[in-house]
Amino acid sequence: MQRAPTSPERISVALGLCVVMLATLPRYMAGGHETRQTLIIFALALVAFAAIVQWRLLAVEARRRLPQLCKRLVVMLLLGMVVMGGWHALFTDWISWQVFISHGATLGVLLHALSLWWSGERHAS
C-alpha cells in the first residue's frame, strides 16, 4: 500500500515539532548557547516551511481533519506537561521552568505521534 506524500497527521506532527523547538529556545537562551539557539531557529523555519508546503498539497477533505488533529496535539502537549511535572516532582531536584517546558513539550509530541501511529495501526488491520 502506497501512502500519500502528505497527510494531516504528518502536518500535525510537524506542528508539534515546531512547538518543541519553540519550547527549547528559552532553555538555550538562559544557558547562553547562541549557536544552538541559531540552529534551532533555522530548523524551526525549515520545518514550518515544510508544514506549509504540505498543507497546500492537502486535499480539501484532508484539510478539514487538521483542526481535530491540532486539538489532539494540544491535549497530548498538556498531558506531557502533567506527566513531566509529576516525574520531576517525584524523582528529580527542582529544575528550571525552561527545562520543564522543553521536557513536557517533547513528551507531548512523542505521545501525539505514538497515538497517531497506534490509531493508524488499528485502522489498517
Q: pLDDT digits over 89-125, tens only?
A: 999 887 899 999 999 999 999 999 999 999 876 665 5
Average pLDDT over residues 68-92: 95
Residue type, 90: L
What b/e sequence results for 74-108 when a residue is b if at least 16 CB atoms lie within 10 Å of its CB, and e otherwise?
eebbebbbeebeeebeeeeeeeeebbbbbbbbbbb
pLDDT attached to residue 19:
98
pTM for the complete prediction? Answer: 0.89
63 neighbors 8 (Cβ within 8 angstroms): yes
* Position 79 pLDDT exceeds 50: yes
